[in-house]
Amino acid sequence: MRLNGLVGGTLGGRLVRWLACLSLGVLGCLCLGVYVSVKSNIEAQQASRLDKSAAAIVHLFEKTQRHQQPGALAHDLEDLLRVNRDLHLKLLDERGDALFISSPDAWPAEGRTYTFNFSAEPRRKDYVAAVLVLDTAPDQAILDRLALILWIAALIGSAAIALGGYFIVFLGLAPVRALAEQTRNLAIRSLDGRLETEGIPAELQVLVDQFNALLDRLEKAYQQLEGFNADVAHELRTPLANIIASSELALRGKERDECLRDCIGSNLEEMRRLSGIVDDMLFLSLADRGAKARRAPVQSLAGMCAEVADYYEAVLTESGLQWTVEGDGAGCFDSALLKRALSNLLNNAARHAERGSTVAIRIAQEAGGQIRLSVANRGEPIHPGSLPHIFNRFFRVDASRSQGSQNHGLGLAIVSAIARMHDGEPFAKSENGETEIGVRLRP
């Protein structure tokens, strides 16, 4: 699971995002609770200080007679407030006018206010009520800093939990990645393979069982399809062989009916063509069932290719083409199958190459020890949309290239089958006026 998967639609990304949101919500609630608790405690302390200060002022009026003297009350109040510099006092008369204000220049614009009245017995006749104001600016600054710290802590905590959750999810999805790798290794040619169930979590066991059951049904259907192809080929082969035999006997007879002989000759040619199709279908069916090439040492692939090209010399000369062999290689191959594949490739190139051009048979060593054997020709390029399908059975690019009376569309399919029988793969490319079709083989 890559980091850019967190913003995509991956399962791991969704889990990490939900975990991050959940952790942010939980940590946010905890931080909010801490903030509210601290704020309530501070407000309780503020209320307690106001109550105690008010009681001290009332006590000053009740127990101290010295305040009856001019200036004595103001001096006593200033001594009381000097200890609490964030407290401010205002004494009011009956009309609400302020007779005494402590620190008028420093009176807070905002603060917590506590108003109380003096009883008739202790108060002087000119003081009726008092207003105590507690400057809450320092406490508010502390709360602001606390809120910022808690908010940052919540974000950092959520990020840490999300990062930890990323690695936990990455480890937790390891069985899913293992299943994906197993399914990637499955192919149509290895339908007997199944997903391993050992070590699979219980949550994925049902999915694996259902997938294996699907593979069972698919393998059975594919075997039925292969059997059908083989059955059709065998059913057609016998009557075709009988028709060919009877036609050959008629041609050897003494009858001189030229029309009859021409008809039989034409039928014989067509039947042989159908027999070739059946043989090719049987070969493809055998390859689809997993048949392997019978390997033997081949000392020079260039020499083998030259033999096949010599055999096709007349066909190439008739098309106005020349041929060359580029490179060489050696290894263990089924030389008969390789000659058949090369024959199909040369036949395909002879049909589509420009007259007067050169058909190149190329042999090259590739990374990983593979041998690349291909035939290249100059001519009309193949459309990119058709390239992936040219190895399909009976596929023709278009009518102008089909020449259906001379080929039946199984040549390149046989090339692909021969490549698979050598544990290789076919390839094709067509660009800049050159078409190259071939196989990659494992020696």
Q: Average model confidence (pLDDT) for the chain?
A: 80
Same domain as 328, residue 271: no
Residue type, 123: R
Q: What are phi and psi of 324, to 5 degrees?
A: -140, 155
Give the residue from 159, 185, 218 where a domain finishes. Answer: 159
Tell me the average confidence (pLDDT) per consecutive run of 10 residues in the chain, 443 residues long. 54 83 90 92 88 81 57 69 78 79 76 80 66 86 92 90 86 81 70 74 81 81 67 67 73 63 72 78 82 90 92 86 92 92 90 90 88 92 85 67 56 90 91 91 85
Same domain as 382, residue 350: yes
CATH number at residue 114: 3.30.450.20
Same domain as 126, residue 38: yes
- Asked whether residue 190 is assigned to any structural domain, the reply reads no
The token pair that represents 377 in the structure block: 């020709």
Q: Taking the complete model, does pTM exceed 0.75, yes or no?
A: no
Paired sense of beta strands 331-333 and 434-441, if any: unpaired
Same domain as 399, residue 377: yes
Contact between 107 and 95 under an 8 Å Cβ cutoff? The reply is: no
Same domain as 274, residue 310: no
- Asked whether residue 399 is assigned to any structural domain, the reply reads yes
* CA–CA distance, 383 with 264 (Å, rounded to integer): 41
In angstroms, the Cα distances linking 393 to 187, 323, 396, 407, 409 are 19, 27, 9, 12, 6
Burial class for 166, CB neighbours closer than 10 Å (0-12, 13-18, 19+): buried
Same domain as 145, residue 105: yes
- Asked whether residue 178 is assigned to any structural domain, the reply reads no
The structural domain count of the chain equals 3
Give the residue from 288, 307, 323 where a domain finishes. Answer: 288
Say how many C-beta atoms besides its own lie within 10 A of residue 428's C-beta.
19
Say how many C-beta atoms besides its own lie within 10 A of residue 227's C-beta.
12
CATH number at residue 381: 3.30.565.10
Same domain as 233, residue 153: no
Q: What percent of the chain has pLDDT over 70?
A: 82
Domain that holds residue 417: 296-441
Same domain as 134, residue 35: yes
The reported pLDDT for the residue numbered 402 is 45
Same domain as 209, residue 248: yes
Interhelix angle 411-421/258-288, rounded to 10 degrees, is 30
Burial class for 258, CB neighbours closer than 10 Å (0-12, 13-18, 19+): exposed
The reported pLDDT for the residue numbered 34 is 92
- Asked whether residue 135 is assigned to any structural domain, the reply reads yes
The reported pLDDT for the residue numbered 151 is 92
The reported pLDDT for the residue numbered 345 is 92
- Asked whether residue 271 is assigned to any structural domain, the reply reads yes
- Asked whether residue 192 is assigned to any structural domain, the reply reads no
Same domain as 309, residue 262: no
Contact between 293 and 333 under an 8 Å Cβ cutoff? The reply is: yes
* CA–CA distance, 357 with 320 (Å, rounded to integer): 7
- Asked whether residue 278 is assigned to any structural domain, the reply reads yes
CATH number at residue 213: 1.10.287.130
Same domain as 9, residue 155: yes
Paired sense of beta strands 87-92 and 129-134, if any: antiparallel
Give per-residue pLDDT as tens, 354-367.
988 999 999 999 88
Same domain as 278, residue 346: no
Give the residue from 256, 288, 320 where a domain finishes. Answer: 288
The reported pLDDT for the residue numbered 117 is 82
The reported pLDDT for the residue numbered 243 is 75
The reported pLDDT for the residue numbered 313 is 86
- Asked whether residue 165 is assigned to any structural domain, the reply reads no
The reported pLDDT for the residue numbered 230 is 67
Contact between 247 and 274 under an 8 Å Cβ cutoff? The reply is: no
